[in-house]
Structure 1
Amino acid sequence: MTRFMDIHHMEGGVSAKDVAAAHDADLATQGDFGVNYLKYWVDEEAGKIFCLVEAPDAETANAVHRKAHGLVADEIYPISSEG
């Protein structure tokens, strides 16, 4: 599987509580797709969410988001390693 970093841009900001709930929904859904959401980071004020995920491909990673809560990533990048 490939690791990806996805980025969500939420106009008007986002609350850490709402992101935690969305992440929980991803975790509950990911098994249906063979995906593993590993970690996420939030910049509440800027409305940015970053998700680290292992998935067969970018579309499958986004399919989990789509089914779990409907908030697909605006950007998604394959990454080779953590620094």
Structure 2
Amino acid sequence: MPLFMDVHHKVDGLTAEAVAGAHEKDLEVQGKYGVDYRQYWFDQASGKVFCLVEAPDAEAAVRVHREAHGLEADELVPVEEGR
């Protein structure tokens, strides 16, 4: 299944707790769309968030964020897993 890195360029009021909460909501919804939000990273100072997601297609990944918490990514980049 394809992998994507989604990038949120500026999430206002970003905190570790808020990102963890949004990720938990993604996990609750993802099964409905055949998606696996694997991991996330963030930089509190810049407000950037990065999510690694395995999904049947880009739209399925977007639907999970939209339904879970409404914070859609600014970019969704196809990636390949390294060794």
What TM bracket, shorter-length normalisation?
A: over 0.9
Q: RMSD of aligned C-alpha atoms?
A: 1.2
Q: 1:12: how far off?
A: 4.1
Cα offsets for 1:3-56 (capped at 9, x unmatched): 000001225451111000000000000000000000000101100000000001
Contact 2:11 2:49 in 1 (8 A): no
- 1:80 aligns to what? 80
Q: Which moved more, 1:73-82 or 1:30-39?
A: 73-82
Please show how residues 2-81 of structure 1 align to structure 2 within 5 Å.
Answer: 2-81=2-81
Contact 2:26 2:65 in 1 (8 A): yes
Supply the distance in 2 between the matched residues of 1:53 and 1:32 (Cα, whole angstroms): 14
Percent of residue pairs identical: 55
Aligned structure 1 segments of 4 or more residues deviating by more than 6 angstroms: none
Task: Identify if the C-alpha distance between structure 1 residues 65 and 12 changes in structure 2 by more than 3 Å, giving closer, same or farther.
Answer: closer
State the TM-score, normalized to the length of structure 2.
0.93
Residue correspondences, number: 83
